[in-house]
Structures are given as structure tokens and as C-alpha cells.
Amino acid sequence: MTEYPNKAQVLVAVDCIIFGFDENELKLLLIKRGFQPEQGKWSLMGGFLRKEENLNNAAERVLHQLTGLKEVYMEQLQVFGAIKRDPVERTVSVAYNALINIHNHDQELVNKFSAEWFPISKIPDLIFDHNQMVTAAINHLRHKVSHQPIGFELLPTKFTMPQLQRLYEAIYETSMDTRNFSKKLLSMGVLVKLQEKQKGFSRKGAFYYQFDQGKYQKSINNGLSFVIKP
């Protein structure tokens, strides 16, 4: 074991861009920073990498601290490494996208961090380069949902076709044709229709569906490509 010469004295952090969907809008969970620097400003939830954990663990830990959730869909987005991005000390930060069901998180923890959900159209000024991270995160999500079945992570396991459509409309900031949308989704054969109907939202009630990972894998192996264009 030799030590490397010219070590770079740089800190490594992770920041989580936490997405949720509340039946109509795509939202991000932001915290009001309780410590210096920039105390009291809005920020992404973040933390420093510890020696005994790998990067993904660090991101999961940070997400868990704020939401109480584990086993969440997370994905490394990008590293931000500009020299002065953090004024206190040279820090590179790895941004992670997290997709959660907006109704599942632990409200007490969220209160503890003075966190709030913001619609993506109304993101406030954030500290450091966090607005840049958010922009990258939204672009990445838009791109990714168009050809991977990850949108379902933002919905309850049981969801209706109109809910799913509104989700895609919110992500793409567009509107889609109901007939073409359901035709497309059903044609891919990755959804299971349940007998049960959603009650209380509309008079008629909409049938619930579930995403079926097994069916998806089979379809993929048969050459299907999952595509939902904006």
C-alpha cells in the first residue's frame, strides 16, 4: 500500500432531488436550511459522504433522514464540481433523483426539517448550485420516463388510467389525447387491470391498474420498447 502523492483535499456530498406527484402537479421536497451557511434559505436535502458508506448508501441515508423511507427508486444524476460552488469548502456534490409516493413520507421528519413540497413551476431560489441541479433533474426525469417505466414510482401501486395520464402530462407539461394514451399503454401489455374502481373522485369511478414488472420484463425480452412520447 502506497499513498498517492498530490491528494486533492475535496469534500464529497450528496444532494437529493425528491420528486412527488399530488394528483395534478409534479413537486419537489425542499428543506429550509437549519444551519450555516445560508441558514433559513431553501435547499435540497443533502449530506456528506461518510468513509464507511458508498455513494448510493449515502444518498439513501440522506433520503431516509428526511422522509423515513427506504427502498426508494433512486438514480445518480450528475456530479457538480465547480470550484466555488460551496463557499465554505471545496466540495463536489453528487445529485440523486428520488421518486417517491407523495403520501408515504413521514410527516414528523418533514416538519423537523421545515421541509415543503413545491410545484416544479414554482421552485424558489435555492442555495449554491441547487437550482442548476433541479433543472438537470427535471430534464433527466423527462427523458427517462419517456422510455423506462419509472413513472409508476410516483404513483400508488394501484392507479387509474386518468391518474397515469395526468402524471405524464405534469412531467411533460403538455396535454395528451385520452384515447391514444390508454391505447398506447394497454398495447404494451405491462399493466394489469383490476376489478376495483376508484371511488369518491368521480361519479362513474375509474378502474384501477397495476404495473406488472414480470410482464414488462417478458415484453422487453420479446423486443418491446417501452416508449411514451411527450
**Out of 24, 57, 114, 202, the residue judged to bind DNA by CB under 7 A:** 202
Smallest separation, CB 203 to a second copy (Å)? 39
Dihedrals φ, ψ of 124, to 5°? -75, 180
CA neighbor of 142 nearest in space, from 49, 9, 7, 17: 17
Please state, in angstroms and rounded to a whole number, the distance separating the CA atoms of residues 156 and 106: 16
Smallest separation, CB 55 to a second copy (Å)? 3
Query: Which of the choices a second copy, DNA, none does residue 11 contact, using the CB cut-off of 5 to 8 A by kind?
Result: a second copy
CA atoms within 13 A on the CB side of 94: 20
Query: Which of the choices a second copy, DNA, none does residue 2 contact, using the CB cut-off of 5 to 8 A by kind?
Result: a second copy
Decide if residue 222 touches DNA (CB under 7 A): no
Query: Which of the choices DNA, a second copy, none does residue 56 contact, using the CB cut-off of 5 to 8 A by kind?
Result: a second copy
Tell me: cis bond preceding 156? Omega within 30 of 0 counts. Answer: no
Decide if residue 179 touches DNA (CB under 7 A): yes
Nearer to a second copy, 11 or 192 (CB): 11
**Out of 22, 32, 73, 87, the residue judged to bind a second copy by CB under 8 A:** 87
Please state, in angstroms and rounded to a whole number, the distance separating the CA atoms of residues 30 and 7: 34
CA neighbor of 68 nearest in space, from 45, 43, 95: 45
Decide if residue 51 touches DNA (CB under 7 A): no
Bridging pattern class, strands 159-160 and 191-197: unpaired
Interface with a second copy (CB under 8 A):
1-4, 6-12, 36-37, 48-56, 58, 76, 78-79, 81-83, 87-90, 92, 94
